[in-house]
Structure 1
Amino acid sequence: MTVTRFAPSPTGYIHIGNLRTALMNYLIARKNGGQFILRLDDTDPERSKQEYADAIMEDLEWLGLTWDRLEKQSDRLDRYNQAADELREMGRFYECFETPTELDLKRKKQLNMGKPPVYDRAGLALSEEEKAALRAERGDGVWRFKLDHERITWTDGILGDMSIDAASVSDPVLIRADGQFLYTLASVCDDVDFGITNVVRGSDHVTNTATQIQIINALGGTVPEFAHHSLLTGPQGEALSKRLGTLALRDLREAGIEPMALLSLMARLGSSQPVELRTSMEELIEGFDLATFGAAPTKFDPEDLKPLSAQVNHARPFAEVKDEVLALGVPADQAEAFWNVVRENITVKADMAEWWTLFRDGATPLVDDEDREFIAQAFDLLPQPPYTDATWKEWTTAVKDATGRKGKGLFMPLRKAVTGRERGPDMSSVMPLLQVAPKL
């Protein structure tokens, strides 16, 4: 059975980059009738907060990305201790005591000598007496996994055949000096124990994958199928964080972006398939193909979410927004007509309020200087509301007869004067919604 996972750290809100990872893993699981696990990587007790864990689940639920199991790494510390003991027994785990300054000096020396800046394994040469002395002087050391210096290979679901020389990578630290388990060990234990079959994550994890493959093999686990998606950039190729901040999903939700607009974009962005609005999760699942994604950095522009959200609202039936329309104060007998008039002229649902203000209170007329007398004469010919769907035709006919104007010279100035806009819904539908007569 296909088993995937999304493993955020509850140290902040989910952002657009996290969503890409979550969505790909979710779609793979659902397309193959498998399981999707939400795993909270909360081994950092100082930075992990319950409010962020709750927010992560809220954001996923808003998008409809439902999980089959919830796991928390903080509940599995005993398992990680057990794995650490296993690695010690097989000679693959060793303690090191260098300070950050000492490590930095070593790296600089290696670079000056033209060598890769990898850890020199000095910790392996320490005797028990030397370790005891260092502990007494500096406290506990960090624990590193001893890599086998061989090529680590795998076939990546996006990047293709991968090969990394383990000798070019430092032995990874798996336990900090304060005893905190780091991501690499905890993630491997979880992936092994939960039977994870597929892992999709960002290309910044490629080196992690190489070392994790060796740790998985050392612990007797089955290596999942790995795939590394490209990282997102801004629309001009700039680093996303510099231009847009973290771009948290809750910020997009607050801005009125529709879930299906966001999912439709992220399910295709960076692939060879065109971005098209999907109307259901089933459509997204059916159309998802990991093999269509490329390795090049992927440009993301939040402005692309607006026309997709507009499409969602254009097709939205009244029943879905009835309560929101009534909450604006639209009379119940006009509510459905109001929605049918404005839905094709809004981007997000919050835009409805501006239209209702226009209908309720009247617009600030948009009148060109050469049209002022014409509009004053036209408004004198318009009776008081209530209006009907015949009012616009009757009024424009009367204005045409009185002024001789016709065509665009007749209709455009009247539209601008009544609505304060150059574009908008059919005026025959607008007039019945006007609660007050337009005036200069």
Structure 2
Amino acid sequence: MSRAPVRTRIAPSPTGFLHLGTARTALYSWAYARHHGGKFILRIEDTDVARSTQESVDQIIASMHWLGLDADEGPVFQMQRLQRYRAVAERMVADGTAYRCYCTPEELDQMREAQRARGEKTRYDGRWRPEPGKTLPPVPEGIAPVIRLRNPPHGEVTWNDLVKGPITISNREIDDLIIMRTDGVPTYNFAVVVDDFDMRISHVFRGDEHVNNTPWQINIFNAIGAPLPVFAHVPIILGDDGQKLSKRRGAVSVTAYEEAGYLPEAMLNYLARLGWSHGDEELFSRAQLVEWFDGEHLSKSPAQWDAAKLNWVNAHYIKQSGDDALAGLVATQLQRRGIEARGDERLARLCALFKDRCSTTVELADWVSMYFGDVAPGADDVAAHVTPAVGPALASLADRLRTVEWNKAAIAAAVKETLAEHKVKMPQLAPAVRVLVCGRVQTPSIDTVLELFERDVVTARLQRPV
């Protein structure tokens, strides 16, 4: 373990939205830094100029902010550091740890085709690699060179992964990768190392698809005389189909979950448990996560995304949320439906009434929406509950509700009087009232539900033609 001050980072590529796997890695990096009193840095790896967009940058930053993973430093953009990468690459050439290669794309294709024909692993054959006593080809005119790492030809690369334990890969398995393209833009593995060195990154949390990149990166760290960070390669997240969640397969953006009515506290809690545990704890606060996340107990096995489990976690946090806070979230959900309810004094009370029945704020908005727009009772519900036998009682109840004080006690008394007058039972009258006024058969107690409607809305719906 490194004794340097803890500095972690998340380094997404702005070629699409921040998906769940990267969000989980960001969460682990953030929590580890906070646990150790360190710093968390946001870096935007935007060297894929053709595919990087400002929209993606904005979405990444918004997602991080929503999750509460605000960085201590950054965002730092790689394209603003090109001169630094070029300077390091040139120094490596001068030191003999890198060299210029003038192979054309056509030559590289021919090289690989010949290797495949011989049944060999495709790799750069080192034709421009300087060696003692070796005569290099003449430098061709008009060909811009790349710069390649002069990878050690022998020995092994070994590191003690924080998740996977000791990992060893032979240098014979890796070749002289390109570190600088012909246009002066660095490749991923080179830019990552220079950035991590310059930013004094002590611990690198990332997906285990990067395990194969690590030997090259370690050799680049060694080539530039930089200390190695501690690597922690976390397993992938599998979707419902058992395949890896990714930008191209099944992954949904973090902001889509916000729009779908999930709370950031719930997403943070759920993502943390996808690959990490603290005993049997399933529900915990942000502060508890920071207290417990010491880099231990990270799973070596892939995590399975479970939408039902996420809904259970989110329902817990909705129940724990303050009604005023929920009112603001529900107002936003209603606004997306063209309903303006922000500022309505009933909204917090409505959230208090229905939140125990909901797993998302979208579901909560479904309940609340009947107070701000008309409802359409289902034909089957009407046929089953709004029967001729209960019709006279509904008319009497509407008459009584026109004149009573508009509060729960008075509404309950009006219902009771109506039941006595028409000699019907509550299981006959209440479902009919619910269907006509609320558009559904099941609700909390009828007096509590009706109290929060406007009087005229209730009496009009009770007498609607069916």
| Shorter-chain TM band | 0.7 to 0.9
Judging changes above 3 Å, is the alpha-carbon distance between structure 1 residues 275 and 118 closer, same or farther for their aligned structure 2 residues?
farther
SS at match of 2:189: helix
The 8 Å contact of residues 145 and 171 in structure 1, kept in 2 or not, is answered as yes
Of 134, 140, 144, which aligns to 1:140? 144
User: Where do 1:377-396 residues align within 5 Å?
Assistant: 377-382=392-397, 383-385=400-402, 387-391=406-410, 393-396=412-415
The structure-2 alpha-carbon separation of the partners of 1:171 and 1:115, relative to structure 1 and needing over 3 Å to count, comes to same
Query: 293-302 or 353-362: which moved more?
Result: 353-362
Count of residue pairs the alignment pairs up: 436
Residues 275-298 of structure 1 show CA distances to partners (whole Å, capped at 9, x for unaligned) of 73444x212212335332223232
SS of 1:18's equivalent in the other structure is helix
Residue in structure 2 matching 1:52, options 51, 56, 60 = 56
Would you say 1:205 and 2:222 are equivalent positions? no
- Is 2:433 the counterpart of 1:433? no
Structure 2, unpaired ranges of 5+: none
1:27 maps to which of 6, 28, 31: 31
CA contact (8 A) 1:36 1:69 kept: yes
What corresponds to 1:316 in structure 2? Answer: 321
Equivalent in 205, 228, 234 of residue 233 of structure 2: 228
Counterpart position of 1:343 = 355
Partners in 2 of 1:264 and 1:171 — Cα distance? Answer: 42
Matches within 5 A, 1:225-264: 225-241=230-246, 245-264=250-269
Partner of 1:422: 441
Structure 1 residue 404 displacement after superposition: 5.2
Letter in 1 for 2:356: E
Question: Which amino acid is the alignment partner of residue 148 of structure 2?
Answer: R
- What SS does the corresponding residue of 1:84 show, helix, strand or coil? helix
SS of residue matched to 1:425: coil
Q: Which residue of 2 aligns with 1:359?
A: 371
What CA distance in whole angstroms lies between the structure 2 residues aligned with 1:330 and 1:401? Answer: 40
Alignment of 1:158-177 (within 5 A): 158-177=163-182
State the AA in 2 paired with 1:276: E
Give the Cα separation in 2 of the matches to 1:408 and 1:152: 74
Counterpart of 1:276?
282
Pair 1:297 & 2:307 matched: no
Contact 2:35 2:292 in 1 (8 A): no
CA offsets per residue over residues 320-371 of structure 1, 9 Å max, x none? Answer: 2455678844885534432321333344434454434423555434334475
- Deviation of residue 129 (structure 1)? 7.4
Aligned-partner residue type, residue 421 of structure 1: R
| Shift in alpha-carbon separation, 1:243–1:39, aligned structure 2, 3 A | closer
Percent identical pairs in the alignment equals 31
Judge which range, 61-70 or 323-332, deviates more: 323-332
Give the C-alpha shift of residue 272 in structure 1.
4.5
When normalised by structure 2's length, the TM-score is 0.83
Counterpart Cα distance in 2 of 1:370 and 1:246: 43
Task: Tell me if structure 2 keeps the 8 A contact 1:11–1:52.
Answer: yes
What pairs with 1:97-136 in structure 2 (closer than 5 Å)? Answer: 97-124=102-129, 130-133=137-140, 136=141
Give the C-alpha shift of residue 401 in structure 1: 3.5
Distance change in 2, residues 1:20/1:356 (3 Å): closer
Q: Do 1:156 and 1:227's aligned partners in 2 also have CA atoms closer than 8 Å? A: yes
The equivalent residue for 1:8 is 12
1:176/1:312 CA distance change after superposition, 3 Å: same
Flag the 1:409–1:160 CA change in 2: closer, same or farther, 3 A.
Answer: farther
The answer as to whether partners of 1:155 and 1:226 remain within 8 angstroms in 2 is yes
Q: CA deviation at 1:72?
A: 2.5
1:384 is aligned with what amino acid?
L
**What letter matches 1:191 in structure 2?**
D
Q: Distance in 2 between matches of 1:349 and 1:234?
A: 23
Deviations 1:399-430 (A, max 9, x none): 54456554756654554444222333332310
Q: Quick check: 1:236–1:299 contact (8 Å CA) kept in 2?
A: no
CA-to-aligned-CA distance 1:225-279 (integer Å, 9 cap, x gap): 1010111221130243488544222222222322112111111112355673444
More deviation, 290-299/31-40: 290-299
Distance 1:329 1:198, change over 3 A: closer
**Of 387, 400, 403, the match for 1:372:** 387
- Residues 82 and 185, structure 2, Cα contact 8 Å, conserved in 1: no
SS in 2 for 1:291: coil
Is 1:397–2:416 an aligned residue pair? yes
Secondary structure, counterpart of 2:124 in structure 1? coil
3-state SS of the aligned residue for 1:171?
coil
CA deviations 1:371-404 (Å, max 9, x no partner) are 5123313312312356421256435534544565
Identify the match of residue 83 of structure 2 among 75, 78, 85: 78
C-alpha spacing 1:330/1:263, structure 2 compared with 1 (3 Å) = closer
